[in-house]
Amino acid sequence: MAIERRTLAWVLALVAAALLLPAIEYGIHRLPLWPWLMKWTYVAPLMPAIFAFMIVSLGLNIVTGFTGLLNLGAAAFVAIGAYTYSILTCEIYPFRLGWVLDEVIAGGRPSAHATWLTFVLGTMAAAGMGALVGAALSLPTMRLRGDYLAIVTLGFCEIVQDLLKNLDPITKGTTGINPVPHPPNLPALAAASEGSSAFIQHATGIYLYYRDATPHYLLYLLLMLGVAMLCRNLRRSRIGRSWVAVREDELAARSSGLDTARIKLSAFSWGAALCATGGALIAALVGTSIDPAYYDFQLSIIVLCAVIVGGMGSIGGVILGALVMFGFNGIVLVRLSDALAGSHTDGNVLTTPNNWKFLVYGLALVLVMRFKPEGLLPAREVRAEMRPPRQAPTVPP
């Protein structure tokens, strides 16, 4: 119970920090800082992408953290979600959702309602496609575990990437699908952000400039928190307890009458659906499905590192791990690349910060496995398993 309270406190602290980040940046930008230091303070516009990758990490946590199945194909499901959303929303396709909704709702005229309905339905369709593909992948891998399952999911990731590159009439090959419509500014959310900013500014003199930082900051934060609550409820449900039973001892779970094949299928479906949801949000945010080469094995490894570093099976830990891994990748490396832009020399890998990425990830994994193998913010049962309580030395009579 104490660990659950600590996890809840960490999650609340992260949420509070996310809500206050725009205000903190606004205060920093009013200070007389050096130009190179000012660049490091522009963090809020990059956070929606990190929120989306938190959703991807939570999806992988269902498969690897809750159920104990090593999945190296998270990038494939991110790609499936991104391309499903892009195909259904991009204007180059005649069957896009926006055209259908404009015809049905507004009689052939563009409608604001059709815009946000396109975003919602496109994201739901991406999640559904991810769930279907995840279920299909789990069927031939029911009897596989450990390294064998990891090899199959790795091969699946490569197959999806090659298909996206070669199905030019549908996926547009290596250029990707664009333009993809950005997420709309929901009127209620915009009004709530403006109203709360005005109230806080009147009471404290601090202006929370959410809409100045990015129009999608609060939307993606709320979506990430909603997915985290969904994972928490799933973990406490009957199916969540079945996932943990399979992770702890599959043979004992089968002997107790549990249908382990069905349990694995549900874990793959839920995990793939959340990974695809994150992919759809990323495509909507950047306005393109991105080059298929982006969804490679390296992306799967980064997501897996986020789950391991944060704490497998811990929702708050996975969120923290994703913040550390993707925050370093999307904020620190970008700023270092800008700072060293004029010092690159041919053959010198040390002046290219992107080359440090996996060195830092590997070092982080080594340090975590050495000093805190259960993760930065572990789940209660994982912590009890990895660090059993010390027994008092027995005194001979």
DSSP symbol at 259: -
- How far from 358 is each of 35, 47, 218, 290, 345, CA to CA, in Å? 29, 21, 31, 22, 20
What pLDDT does 58 receive? 96
Tokens representing 147 are 């390294």
Instruction: Give me Rg for the CA atoms of the chain.
Output: 22
Q: Domain map of the chain by residue range?
A: 2-340+350-381
For the chain, 397 residues long, the average pLDDT of each consecutive 10-residue run is 58 69 59 51 76 95 92 94 92 70 56 74 94 92 82 93 91 88 67 50 46 67 91 92 90 88 93 96 91 91 91 89 85 66 54 68 82 78 62 57
CATH of domain 2-340+350-381: 1.10.3470
Q: Please give the pLDDT value at position 158.
A: 93
Mean pLDDT across the chain: 78
Helix 297-310 / helix 357-371 crossing angle, nearest 10 deg: 30
- Give yes or no for a contact between 139 and 269, defined as CB atoms under 8 angstroms apart: no
- % of the chain residues with pLDDT over 70: 67
Count the Cβ atoms, other than its own, within 10 Å of residue 309: 25
Q: Which of 247, 372, 337 is nearest to 40 (CA)?
A: 337
Residue 224's contacts (CB-CB under 8 Å, 6 or more residues apart) are 51, 52, 54, 55, 319
Give pLDDT, residue 356.
Answer: 72
CA separation for the pair 62, 69 (Å, rounded): 9
Question: For the whole model, what pTM was predicted?
Answer: 0.83
The CA distance from 139 to 289, in Å, is 28
Residues 6+ apart with CB under 8 A from 210: 22, 193, 197, 217, 218
- What sections of the chain are H helices per DSSP? 2-29, 35-39, 47-60, 74-89, 97-105, 112-138, 146-166, 168-171, 187-204, 210-213, 217-236, 238-248, 250-255, 260-286, 297-310, 315-327, 333-339, 357-371, 380-386
pLDDT at 210: 45
Q: What is the pLDDT of residue 365?
A: 81
